[in-house]
Amino acid sequence: MPSLAEQLVQWRRDFHAYPELGFCEYRTAASICDVLSGLPGCTLRLGPAALSADGMMAAPSPDEAAAARAEALAAGADSRWVEQMGNGLTGVIAEWVFPRPGPTVAFRVDIDALPVTETAADAHAPVRAGFASLQPGRMHACGHDGHTAIGLGLASLVAARSARENWGGRLRLIFQPAEEGCSGAAPMLAAGAVDGVDYFIAGHLGVSAVEDGLVSCGTDSFLATTKMDVILRGVAAHAGIKPHEGRNALLAAAALTLQLHAISRHGAGDSRINVGVMRAGSGRNVIADRAELELEVRGTTTAVNAFMTAEAHRMINAIAQAHGVTAEERLIGVAESATCDAPLKRIVRAAAESLPQTRRVVDSLPLGASEDATCFMNAVQARGGQATYVQIGSRLAAGHHHPAFDFNEAALVHGAELYAAIAGRLLGPRGTGSH
């Protein structure tokens, strides 16, 4: 029987070889269910019970979902699980209810991969060790393979320790799809994923914690974000003979892009705007009747992001009107800003300091990007609970989202033990989290 460290590496490498994009993580989720269903005391929620199809953003089309399911089955996923996951309902929630009363503690790990082609260089550890991505154009380039393994490691430790240490209350483990793009948290929130949660912990390998053994008890500088697609529809016309009969969706998209990027800076905090993709028009000599834009706004606070979102919304509609075209907005993802709670950060510190893997502990490190764990955090805090977002240190072979990204697998056992130690302090008999 493998040690925890060996088991974690084995899981991680399997996930790494089979990367799946947001809402298409059928094989990953099925593997999670395989492991969890074998653990005593663990109740599973999946499909609509874990992730609400209503108002789902960026959902795959039925065809895309069917193709992803077929691929997962071909790669060994158990059809028993896959059948329950419908079109993109790839979240999984595990819960343990302990005999003694106590608080409800939730950990969230994200499970999706990125549309990045993994490097084939020999220097890249997954290549050398033979577990590089088997799917061209997809890669676990952000460490979510490691997060998923840590989540499974925590589950194993819970099973082993909760009875021995006489834990009370409940422990919930949230495996979230589609963190990239910030579209997975909202539909799990809508399915009640953090209902009743008193303590919420999410985390990430690396980010600003790029030395081995470092633990950051919290995270700051989350950028709130709104991600959307815009489709402009006009009227085609021959550009030489009847240009005036056209309604130029490409020109409207160009004007819109320029004006979106010129939305005012905000006095209360930094903001961002990016139209990252534009596809418009069908031919050089035809007035374009269709343009598609993929864009996002961000802000250092939820309020600044809301300002950017409202400005963008007004502009999209008015500039479409100025050019006589119609605009359709599709919300693709949202994340908020968030603040980690000091008492919970102190518990993380105590837990971290209790571990032999820990070399250094800091109170907080910045994220500087967007994370939809913030939606869970704010929901928990709004009901009086506490939340934090930890960073688990590791040297990185290359930055996040890079084709040569890789982390030190020693961080896996550090992460799983850290989470279990936090759970133990909150749920154990002398837990800080006693109700």
Tell me the three state secondary structure of residue 341: coil
Lay out the site mask for its own copies across 93-122 (x = CB under 8 A, - = otherwise): ----------------------x-------
239 binds its own copies (CB under 8 A): yes
Residue (of 222, 230, 16) closest to 116 by Cα position: 16
331 binds its own copies (CB under 8 A): no
Query: Footprint of its own copies on residues 171-190 (CB under 8 A)?
Result: 181
Dist CA 361 CA 348 (whole Å): 9
Q: Which among 19-27, 75-83, 128-136, 235-243 is the span making contact with its own copies, rule CB under 8 A?
A: 235-243
Provide, rounded to whole angstroms, the least separation between the CB of residue 404 and its own copies: 16
Dump the DSSP string for 93-152. Answer: EEEEE-SEEEEEEEEEEE---BS-PPP--TTSHHHHTT---SSTT-B--SSHHHHHHHHH
Q: Which is nearer to its own copies, 117 or 432 (CB)?
A: 117
Question: Are the C-beta atoms of 93 and 187 separated by less than 8 Å?
Answer: no
Q: Which is nearer to its own copies, 225 or 391 (CB)?
A: 225
Tell me the three state secondary structure of residue 238: strand
Q: Which among 140-148, 155-163, 165-173, 245-253 is the span making contact with its own copies, rule CB under 8 A?
A: 245-253
Spatial neighbors of 74 by CB under 8 A, at least 6 apart, are none
Residue from 8, 332, 340, 426 touching its own copies (CB under 8 A): that is 332
Tokens standing for residue 274: 């990016």
242 binds its own copies (CB under 8 A): yes
Residue from 369, 381, 395, 432 touching its own copies (CB under 8 A): that is 369
HSE (side-chain half, CA atoms, 13 Å) at 152: 29
Residue from 1, 284, 356, 430 touching its own copies (CB under 8 A): that is 284
Q: Which among 32-40, 220-228, 390-398, 427-435 is the span making contact with its own copies, rule CB under 8 A?
A: 220-228
Spatial neighbors of 198 by CB under 8 A, at least 6 apart, are 103, 104, 105, 169, 380, 385, 386, 433, 435
Residue from 56, 152, 154, 315 touching its own copies (CB under 8 A): that is 315
Dist CA 103 CA 424 (whole Å): 12
Q: Which is nearer to its own copies, 242 or 383 (CB)?
A: 242
Provide, rounded to whole angstroms, the least separation between the CB of residue 256 and its own copies: 8
Residues in contact with its own copies by the rule CB under 8 A: 115, 181, 223, 225, 227, 238-246, 248, 250-251, 253-255, 257-259, 261-262, 264-288, 291, 294-296, 298, 307, 314-315, 318-319, 321-324, 332, 368-370, 401
